[in-house]
């Protein structure tokens, strides 16, 4: 009888990295729990414990638990304590999984959701899944200061997530090993850098609501948050430099924007001059500002249609468009009003032209960001890497 040579499909392997520092009392339970969860889900898993130079018996307890569980357990130990982010990078480097996750050793986050988060990654490996704290049992002050920090980081860095720091995240294996092992932030800001890199590589970020238990006092106090400000500033500078670099590179799009903007400017100025002709010759700043607003209302309708269809070739979100455009309007109204107050009609017109020039730089950047998000939602952008 011929041997059975039927093709056996590859069974997906999941790597779970547990960064641990002085967790001798908790690491064993964490290993038992994760092993049991994936055994029940019938998923192949390897557990990687990275001991961040602990001063207790974290590594010993991890190896003791490894002898009991069914899944393979790898225990690594760093010589110096560099931070949680560095420990995660070491674990990612040692991983072999098609999907790679990390979770805090104290299991304050529901590890039982890990298999479902892995399933959300899908077979294309072009998205990541992160925990998002909807319910939080920590003390009031700790809870609200954390939320404020997450909100500020998300807004400054344009991260489309509610919670940047939740200690349970799942990534495609190629992304964890090829990209996230080269991060610059070895400490608490590693999570933010990981999400920034995910956006840079056009990975879709899926948030899963979780309830965080409070099993011990907070480790990162306000002093830690303040110490992170310089690094966060560098990340913000790098992010916005990249945004403006991308804007400058897309010259054809910039040219289309200029043509449409010029046509829109003609409409804007023509309507503005018509309004000026209706009222008496002398203009005060308030009247010139109202005339500028009226001209913009007419021109913005034309602008929305033309910028969506011609400049960026994708439907721009109407609300976002008018928010960005309103910033330009504020500039135009201010300059028109101030110039008119000093120089009358001539000054109003000069101020209007100057306002258009300044507002154009603001609006192009805003529209460009809206267009990229619209492309992403429509599925136009593809990941720069894909697993084969």
Q: Whose CA is closest to 46, among 107, 100, 126, 3? A: 100
Query: Per-residue pLDDT averaged across 277-290, rounded?
Result: 68
Residue 88's nearest CA partner among 54, 51, 114 is: 51
**Per-residue pLDDT at 6 exceeds 60:** no
Going by C-beta distance under 8 Å and a sequence separation of 6 or more, which residues neighbour residue 206? Answer: 120, 127, 128, 129, 130
In this prediction, residue 21 carries a pLDDT of 94
DSSP 223: H
Question: What is the maximal distance between C-alpha atoms in the chain?
Answer: 104
Q: Which two tokens stand for residue 371?
A: 């267009």
Phi/psi for 167 (5° steps) reads -85, 45
The neighbour count for residue 24, using CB atoms within 10 Å, is: 17
Instruction: In whole angstroms, give the CA distance from residue 239 to residue 103.
Output: 27
pLDDT for residue 146:
63
User: For the sheet containing 73-77, what is the strand order?
Assistant: 73-77, 44-51, 13-20, 99-103, 168-172, 127-136, 204-212
The per-residue pLDDT for 175 is: 96
At 216-261, the pLDDT tens digits run 655 555 565 565 667 667 777 776 777 677 666 667 787 888 898 8
Contact 34, 114 (CB under 8 A): yes
- The pairing of strands 99-103 and 168-172 is antiparallel
Residue 319 falls in which region: left (phi positive, over 0), alpha (psi -120 to 50) or beta: alpha
> Domains along the chain?
13-228 (3.90.550.10), 250-378 (no CATH)
pTM equals 0.61
Cα-flanking dihedrals φ and ψ of residue 22, to 5°?
Answer: 55, 50
Mean pLDDT of 105-115: 94
Q: What is the pLDDT of residues 39-86, one digit of tens each?
A: 999 999 999 999 999 999 999 999 999 999 999 999 999 988 888 999
Considering only 233-237, 306-310, 336-340, which range has the smallest mean pLDDT? Answer: 233-237
pLDDT tens-place string over residues 146-178: 666 666 666 677 777 888 888 899 999 999 999
Give percent of the chain with pLDDT exceeding 70: 79
- Closest listed residue to residue 251, CA positions, set 211, 182, 197, 311: 311
Residue 286 pLDDT > 60, yes or no? yes
d(CA 171, CA 181) in angstroms, rounded, equals: 12
Q: Is the pLDDT of residue 16 over 80?
A: yes
Number of continuous H segments (helices) and E segments (strands) in the chain: 12, 7
Supply the mean pLDDT for the chain. 81
């Amino acid at each position: 009888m011929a041997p059975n040579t039927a093709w056996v499909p590859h069974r997906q392997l999941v790597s779970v990295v547990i960064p641990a520092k002085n967790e001798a009392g908790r690491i064993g339970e964490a290993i038992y729990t994760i092993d049991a969860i994936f055994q029940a889900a019938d998923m192949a898993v390897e557990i990687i414990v990275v001991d961040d130079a602990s001063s207790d018996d974290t590594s010993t307890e991890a190896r003791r638990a490894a002898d009991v569980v069914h899944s393979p357990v790898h225990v690594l130990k760093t010589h110096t304590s560099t931070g949680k982010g560095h420990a995660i990078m070491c674990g990612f480097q040692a991983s072999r999984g098609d999907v790679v996750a990390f979770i805090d050793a104290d299991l304050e986050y529901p590890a039982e959701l890990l298999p479902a988060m892995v399933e959300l990654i899908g077979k294309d490996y072009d998205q990541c899944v992160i925990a998002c704290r909807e319910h939080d049992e920590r003390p009031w002050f700790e809870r609200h200061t954390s939320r404020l920090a997450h909100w500020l980081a998300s807004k400054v860095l344009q991260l489309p997530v509610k919670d940047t720091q939740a200690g349970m995240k799942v990534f495609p294996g190629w992304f964890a090993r090829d990209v996230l092992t080269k991060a610059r932030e070895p400490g608490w800001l590693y999570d933010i850098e990981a999400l920034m890199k995910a956006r840079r590589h056009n990975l879709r970020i899926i948030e899963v609501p979780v309830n965080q238990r409070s099993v011990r006092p907070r480790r990162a106090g306000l002093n830690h948050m303040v110490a992170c400000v310089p690094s966060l500033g560098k990340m913000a500078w790098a992010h916005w430099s990249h945004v403006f670099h991308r804007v400058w590179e897309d010259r054809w799009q910039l040219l289309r924007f200029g043509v449409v903007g010029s046509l829109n400017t003609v409409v804007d100025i023509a309507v503005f001059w018509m309004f000026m002709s209706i009222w008496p010759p002398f203009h005060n700043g308030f009247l010139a500002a109202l005339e500028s607003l009226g001209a913009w209302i007419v021109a913005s309708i034309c602008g929305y249609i033309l910028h969506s269809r011609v400049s960026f070739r994708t439907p721009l979100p109407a609300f976002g468009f008018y928010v960005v455009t309103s910033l330009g309007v504020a500039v135009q109204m201010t300059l028109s009003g101030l110039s008119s107050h000093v120089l009358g009609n001539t000054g109003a017109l000069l101020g209007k032209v100057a306002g258009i020039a300044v507002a154009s730089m603001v609006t192009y950047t805003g529209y460009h960001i809206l267009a990229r998000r619209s492309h992403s939602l429509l599925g136009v952008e593809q990941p720069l890497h894909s697993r084969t």
